[in-house]
Amino acid sequence: MPGDQRDRSIKALRPFVPAKDFALSKKFYTELGFRAEELGKELAEMHLGPHSFLLQDYYVKDWAGNFVMHALVDDLPGWWVRIESLDLPHALRCRATQGAEIGALGACRRLRVRPVRRPLAFCLAPRTA
């Protein structure tokens, strides 16, 4: 099968995301606007528009500690206003970092859920010419 046919044959490519507290993690992503589709007692597909990932009730500290979800967005300030309006630190015991980071991935802001301690980085998409 030629490469371009293989590319088109893939219908989805979704990471498995670890959750130390499965219910809290589902609530966090739902509050951000994801729709949870239960796939069993310990697995949910989290949808946001055409994008999704598999949230699992499984946790290995070393793996989870190295995991970052990276969301590339066109309107970073708009997302940040939405995130702050949700009052997630109070509602879900999570912390949002202040300010932006400029690095290899562009301007980013990170949102970290506690006790899960898994960051979600919202990054500004590079402008195309």
Digit-coded pLDDT (tens) for 40-61: 999 999 999 999 999 999 988 8
Residue 22 DSSP class? H
Assigned domain for 65 exists: yes
Assigned domain for 129 exists: no
pTM of the model: 0.78
What average pLDDT does the segment 22-30 reach? 89
Cα distances (angstroms) measured from residue 45 to each of 13, 50, 63, 88: 12, 12, 20, 21
Going by pLDDT thresholds of 50, 70 and 90, the confidence category of residue 99 is low
CATH number of residue 69's parent domain? 3.10.180.10
Cα distances (angstroms) measured from residue 39 to each of 54, 55, 57: 9, 10, 12
| Structural domains counted in the chain | 1
Please state the φ and ψ torsions of residue 24, each to the nearest 5 degrees.
-65, -40
Answer yes or no: is pLDDT of 103 > 60: yes
Assigned domain for 67 exists: yes
69-73 and 94-96: which strand pairing? unpaired
Assigned domain for 108 exists: yes
Separation between Cα atoms, residue 42 and residue 40, nearest integer Å: 6
Write out the residue range of the structural domain in which residue 113 sits: 3-124
Answer yes or no: is pLDDT of 27 > 70: yes
116-128 per-position pLDDT tens digit:
556 677 776 766 5
Our CA dihedral for 48, 50, 53, 55, rounded to 10 degrees, sits at 40
What average pLDDT does the segment 57-79 reach? 83
Per the model's pLDDT, the better-predicted residue between 68 and 23 turns out to be 23
